[in-house]
Amino acid sequence: MNLVSFEGNKDNTKINGSGPVTSAEPVQPLDIECVEKILNYRFKNKSLLVQAFTDPSYDEKCVSYERLEFLGDTILSMVITNEFYNLYPKESPGSLTNLRAANVDTEKLARVAVKHNLHRYLRHKKPLFDDQVLEFVKAVKKDPTLPHSHGLLTVPKFLADIVESTIGALFMDCNSTDTVWKVVKPLLEPIIHLDKLEKHPMTELNEKCQKKKLTLTTKDTWEETKNFFFLY
Amino acid sequence: MNLVSFEGNKDNTKINGSGPVTSAEPVQPLDIECVEKILNYRFKNKSLLVQAFTDPSYDEKCVSYERLEFLGDTILSMVITNEFYNLYPKESPGSLTNLRAANVDTEKLARVAVKHNLHRYLRHKKPLFDDQVLEFVKAVKKDPTLPHSHGLLTVPKFLADIVESTIGALFMDCNSTDTVWKVVKPLLEPIIHLDKLEKHPMTELNEKCQKKKLTLTTKDTWEETKNFFFLY
C-alpha cells in the first residue's frame, strides 16, 4: 500500500510505522513524520495532526483534541456504516447497527490506538497516564487477536479519543470520506464482520434461557468462587 | 438556486416543487419528477428514490426505505456536525451536540417532510396514515415557523424516516457528502442555530430553580386547570 498524501497516491514508497504493542512513553513535542508513517498519510495542514494529539491536560494555551474527536466520532460512524451498508446489501438496519457498534466502541478503538502505538505520541500532563495505559497494554498483550473483552477490561477512554480525533483531523485535511476510509480501514483491522460478531455473553445467556423457558437468577459470588452466575 | 444533477449544476432553470403545508394524500406510484423538483436534484439511479419512498407496509415484494433510512440517519448526522463544526470554531463539543440534536430530531425532520410535501409521495398501506399525518399537519399549520414543540405534539416517526431515507438515497446516488449537504440544507431551513437554540422548558425551569435554591414540585393538574406545574 502506498503512502496516501493529500494529493492522492503519488508516493510509491511502502512506509508503515506500526509495530508490536509497546509500553507507554509519550513523545513530546509531536513527531509529525512518525505519526504520518503510522497513518500512511501526509497532512497538508500539520497543525490539525498536532491538535489531534493534544490532550486537554497538556497546556491550556494549546487547542486540545476535543472538538476533532467530536467530529471524528461522527465521521467514523458514517464511513463504517457506509462500508457495511454496501458490503451486506441484505442485512437489516438492526444487524448493521450491531456491526457498527462492535467496530466503533471504546475498547475496540483503544486497541487500535495501542496496536499502532498512537498513544505514545499524545501530548498530555495526565498523572495516571502511564499506569492506565500500561495496565491496558498488558491486558491486550495477553491476547492481541481478541476483538473484545465484553467489559472485562478497564479501558482508558483517551485511547479511543486519539483514534477519533485523528479521524477528525484526517477529514478536515482531505474533506473526503473516501480518503478517510482508505486511511482508517487498515488501522481498524481486524474489522469485526458478521461472521465474527459475538453477542455479549449475557445477551447470549439470556436468549438461551428464554428459548428453554428457564428463569435466570444472577448471584455475585466472585469473592468466594471467582464465578459470577448460577443458572437454575 | 439551480437544479442539482448528479453531474453538478448544469441545469440553470430554477425549479422548486415545495409549497405550503397541505393535506395528506399519498400519490402512488412515485412521481419521480415531482420529488426531484422538491429536492432540486436529479437522480442518476431513480430506483434509489423509489426505494426511499416505499414504506415497509406497501408491498412485501418491494424493497422498503428502512436500510436507506439507517444510512441517511448517519449521513445527516455527519453533514450537520461538519457544518456546525466549521460554523462555530470556538464552541465546545457539548454545545455542538445540543445544536446537532435540535436539528436532527424526529419532530424537526417530520416538520421538514410536511413543509415540503414529501409525505404525499410515500408509497404505503398504513391504515392510520391519513389520520396521523393530518393531525400533525394541523398542529404544524397553527405555527409553521415554530422549530419545536418540545414533546407537546404526537409525531408520526415515518415522516422523519422519509427525510432520512431520502438523504440515504441522495448519498448512494452522488457519493458526496458535499452534494448531499447542498441539496439537504435548503430543505432543513430554518436550521436551528446557536442564537435560536431553545432549552427544553423543563431543563430551563430546573436550572432557574437550582439557581434560586428553590425546590421544584411537579403536580399533574391538567384535568382541573389545564396547567401542569406548580412552583414552590
pLDDT tens per residue, range B149-179: 777 788 999 999 999 999 999 999 999 999 9
Identify the contact set of chain A against chain B, taking CB-CB distances under 8 A: 66-67, 69-71, 74-75, 77-78, 81-82, 85, 91-93, 96-97, 171, 175, 177-178
Confidence of residue B141 (pLDDT cuts 50, 70, 90): confident
Pick A177's closest partner by Cβ from B92, B97, B177.
B177
What pLDDT shows up at residue A220? Answer: 66
Looking at the complex, report in whole angstroms how far the Cα of residue A172 sits from the nearest Cα belonging to chain B: 9
| Contact (CB<8Å) B67/A97 | no
Q: What is the mean pLDDT of chain B?
A: 84
Which residues of A are less than 8 Å from B74 in CB distance? 74, 77-78, 81-82
> Of A216-220, B26-30, B124-128, B173-177, which range is least confident?
B26-30
- All structural domains of chain A, each given as residue ranges with its CATH number in brackets, are 3-198 (1.10.1520.10), 200-232 (no CATH)
Pick B70's closest partner by Cβ from A93, A171, A178.
A93
Q: Searching chain B, which residue's CA lies closest to the CA of residue A85?
A: B71
What pLDDT shows up at residue A69? Answer: 98
Looking at the complex, report in whole angstroms how far the Cα of residue A160 sits from the nearest Cα belonging to chain B: 16
What pLDDT shows up at residue A155? Answer: 92
Q: What is the pLDDT of residues A104-153, one digit of tens each?
A: 999 999 999 999 999 999 999 999 998 999 999 998 888 766 666 777 78
What pLDDT shows up at residue B147? Answer: 63
What pLDDT shows up at residue A108? Answer: 94
C-alpha cell at B186: 435548503
Q: What is the mean pLDDT of chain A?
A: 84
Confidence of residue B216 (pLDDT cuts 50, 70, 90): confident
Which residues of B are less than 8 Å from A169 in CB distance? none
* Cis amide linkage into residue A29, ω under 30° from 0: yes
Which residues of A are less than 8 Å from B177 in CB distance? 78, 177
Pick A85's closest partner by Cβ from B71, B81, B177.
B71
Identify the contact set of chain B against chain A, taking CB-CB distances under 8 A: 66-67, 69-71, 74-75, 77-78, 81-82, 85, 91-93, 96-97, 171, 175, 177-178
% of chain A residues with pLDDT over 90: 62
> Of A14-23, A53-62, B20-29, B101-110, which range is least confident?
A14-23
SS3 A123: strand
What pLDDT shows up at residue A208? Answer: 80
| Contact (CB<8Å) B93/A177 | no
Confidence of residue A11 (pLDDT cuts 50, 70, 90): very low
Which residues of B are less than 8 Å from A96 in CB distance? 67, 70
What pLDDT shows up at residue A6? Answer: 39
Confidence of residue A200 (pLDDT cuts 50, 70, 90): low
What pLDDT shows up at residue B221? Answer: 64
Report whether pLDDT(A14) > 60. Answer: no
| Contact (CB<8Å) A81/B70 | yes
Looking at the complex, report in whole angstroms how far the Cα of residue B177 sits from the nearest Cα belonging to chain A: 8
| Contact (CB<8Å) A70/B96 | yes
What pLDDT shows up at residue B214? Answer: 83
Looking at the complex, report in whole angstroms how far the Cα of residue A68 sits from the nearest Cα belonging to chain B: 9
| Contact (CB<8Å) A93/B177 | no
Q: What is the mean pLDDT of residues A46-53?
A: 97
Comparison of pLDDT for A219 and A213, the residue scoring more:
A213
Which residues of A are less than 8 Å from B82 in CB distance? 71, 74, 171
- CA end-to-end span of chain B: 54
